[in-house]
Chain A
Amino acid sequence: MLKTRIIPTLLWKDHGLVKGVGFDSWRRVGTVLPAIKVYSTREVDELILVDITATGEARAPDCDSVAEFSAECFVPLTVGGGIRTIEHIRDLLRAGADKVSINSAAYANPGLVREAASRFGAQCVVASIDVRRLPDGSLKCYSHSGSRPQDRDPASWARELETQGAGEILITSVERDGTMEGYDLELVRAVAAAVRIPVIASGGAGSYAHLLAALREGGASAVAAASIFHFTQQTPLEAKHYLATHGIPVRRHQLASDTLKA
């Protein structure tokens, strides 16, 4: 059976690992490479690494740093931030990224996801959507790290990205991000129901129960989380135990350490 993935998200700014609230008030929480090493050693299901300032500063992805990070990462690594061209994607995959996450560029250049999927395969294209809730309660997509409104609603935009060839959708609630108040389940549900590709819920996880809710009530295929792992004692491994006791299939580390040496 396919296991449900729990994916720590690492946000990266000026060589530091950061975490904010609502895509703002960034706090430094460590350095990237040691964090990747630890997660890789602990055999997390997957990692998402996002360079949060690349797009704002119109910088290309920093492939040299990604190569350094991926050299220590033996679990799947999705890299995002600043991706605008096919060459950026090619270079990141060469640097050791397994998948790339495309967000802002997908609005400006609808051909990018399509070309990336046809060149590198849909399976390595993660389309990332950041969403804010307007005062009337409706949902609206935002690009450029949550700063620029786009005339799109998340469900139809997700469907369009799926048609363009995206292999997965990473759906993030900007307002919930960093609050640890729980995922925006209505948002997750709307997007998961709109597409047939896997949907990763992101933004707001503060407890194991929140992860379960995103899967069970939101219909997400996987959950991404950051603050819960940076700022609390909760861990991806314990999260799996919790989910397993609630009937969610998760990956166990079945191999005894004496049979296999890391």
Chain B
Amino acid sequence: MKVLVIDYGMGNLGSVRRAFEECGADVLTSANSRDALTAERIVLPGVGAFLDGMAHLHAGDWPGQLRTALENPEVRLLGICLGMQLLADSGEEGGRTAGLGLIAGEVRRLEPEDANTRIPHVGWNEVNSTRPDRLLQLIPDGTDFYFVHSYHFRPASPALVLGTTPYCGDFASVVGAGNVYGVQFHPEKSSRPGFQVIRNFLAR
């Protein structure tokens, strides 16, 4: 399976590459957006701020190339953490910015429910599936994944949510629309459950 990990200067690329390789992928880490056209799976990782992320994606001409690549329904994209958030229509981190618009929704800051809720949301927290999907196959509800973020994806429709996580209310931690997926947690850092998500994403 040919997997492209997008190198747009924003992320823990080493970790992502290693985890996908561990799951049997043939990984190309590339800053050349034309490589999107020959990959079977595309990963948009990301650690950083929304505004910078979009600026880097535009600088590399990624938005257009990704749209073209995703016209093939056999190709799938997985956004991780900031990479998931960038799939949205817009974000507010660093100033209101248009996103890739691949999954309808917006990215907002987490709002603490009470004085004891600390932001960022850091650590292991559970994911509960809201709709059956291949991405969460073999993963029981309540399985913990590793999160580290201050913003969250608010999908335009509940139909786009595949899983939620209880923090500051239930936020959408897994989203999907057609061949585009996003996870707020870090599968590459979530041990075996994370590998299972990666394998599910890679499976034909």
Give the residue name and chain of the B residue nearest to A5 (CB).
B123
CA–CA, A2 to B12, complex, Å?
Answer: 23
Cβ contacts under 8 Å, B122 to chain A: 5, 123, 167-168, 198, 221-222
Give the residue name and chain of the A residue nearest to B193 (CB).
A255
Q: Is the CB of B125 within 8 A of A94?
A: no
Q: Is the CB of A262 within 8 A of B148?
A: no
Cβ contacts under 8 Å, A118 to chain B: 49, 52, 94
Interface status of B169 (Cβ within 8 A of chain A) = no
Which stretch from A20-28, A67-75, A206-214 is at the chain B interface?
A67-75
- Given contacts A43-B191, A123-B47, whether A2 and B52 have CB atoms under 8 Å apart is no
CA–CA, A198 to B167, complex, Å?
Answer: 14
**Interface hits, B127-173 → A, CB 8 Å:** 138-140, 142-144, 146, 148-150, 166-167
Q: Is the CB of B123 within 8 A of A2?
A: yes
Which stretch from B13-21, B35-43, B61-69 is at the chain A interface?
B13-21
Q: Is the CB of A260 within 8 A of B193?
A: yes
- Given contacts A71-B14, A197-B120, whether A124 and B148 have CB atoms under 8 Å apart is yes
Write the nearest CB–CB distance from B109 to chain A, whole angstroms: 11
Cβ contacts under 8 Å, A196 to chain B: 112, 118-119
Q: Is the CB of A75 within 8 A of B191?
A: yes
Cβ contacts under 8 Å, B150 to chain A: 121-123, 167
Q: Is the CB of A221 within 8 A of B118?
A: yes
1/0 per residue A148-177: CB within 8 Å of B? 000000000000000000011000000000
CA–CA, A85 to B48, complex, Å?
Answer: 17
Out of B48, B119, B125, name the residue touching A197 (CB < 8 Å). B119
Cβ contacts under 8 Å, B118 to chain A: 196-198, 221
Q: Is the CB of B124 within 8 A of A3?
A: yes
Interface status of A133 (Cβ within 8 A of chain B) = no
Which secondary structure dominates where chain A touches chain B?
loop
Q: Is the CB of B192 within 8 A of A96?
A: no
Cβ contacts under 8 Å, A99 to chain B: 148
Cβ contacts under 8 Å, B126 to chain A: 1
Q: Is the CB of B143 within 8 A of A254?
A: yes
Interface status of A187 (Cβ within 8 A of chain B) = no
Write the nearest CB–CB distance from B10 to chain A, whole angstroms: 8
Write the nearest CB–CB distance from A109 to chain B, whole angstroms: 20
Q: Is the CB of B123 within 8 A of A70?
A: no
Cβ contacts under 8 Å, A46 to chain B: 123, 146
Write the nearest CB–CB distance from A168 to chain B, whole angstroms: 6
- Given contacts A119-B49, A121-B47, A254-B143, whether A3 and B125 have CB atoms under 8 Å apart is yes
1/0 per residue A214-226: CB within 8 Å of B? 0000000110000
Q: Is the CB of A1 within 8 A of B166?
A: yes
CA–CA, A252 to B194, complex, Å?
Answer: 15
**Interface hits, A187-205 → B, CB 8 Å:** 196-198
Cβ contacts under 8 Å, A168 to chain B: 120, 122
CA–CA, A198 to B148, complex, Å?
Answer: 11
Q: Which of A2, A95, A196 has the most CB of B within 10 A?
A: A2
Cβ contacts under 8 Å, A252 to chain B: 144
Interface status of B76 (Cβ within 8 A of chain A) = no
Q: Is the CB of B124 within 8 A of A251?
A: yes
Cβ contacts under 8 Å, A3 to chain B: 123-125, 144
Q: Is the CB of B146 within 8 A of A76?
A: yes
Give the residue name and chain of the B residue nearest to A221 (CB).
B118
Q: Is the CB of A124 within 8 A of B47?
A: yes
Interface status of A231 (Cβ within 8 A of chain B) = no
Write the nearest CB–CB distance from A46 to chain B, whole angstroms: 8
Interface status of B34 (Cβ within 8 A of chain A) = no
Interface CB pairs A-B, < 8 A, 28: A1-B125, A1-B166, A3-B124, A5-B123, A46-B123, A71-B14, A71-B18, A74-B19, A74-B22, A74-B190, A74-B191, A75-B191, A94-B12, A96-B18, A98-B186, A118-B49, A119-B48, A123-B47, A124-B148, A196-B119, A197-B119, A197-B120, A198-B123, A222-B122, A251-B124, A255-B140, A260-B138, A262-B191
Name the 3 nearest CB pairs between A and B, nearest first.
A96-B14, A251-B124, A123-B148
Q: Knowing that A46-B123, A67-B14, A74-B189 are A-B contacts, what are 4 other residue pairs whose CB atoms are under 8 Å apart, sorted by A's residue number?
A: A5-B122, A45-B123, A93-B11, A222-B123
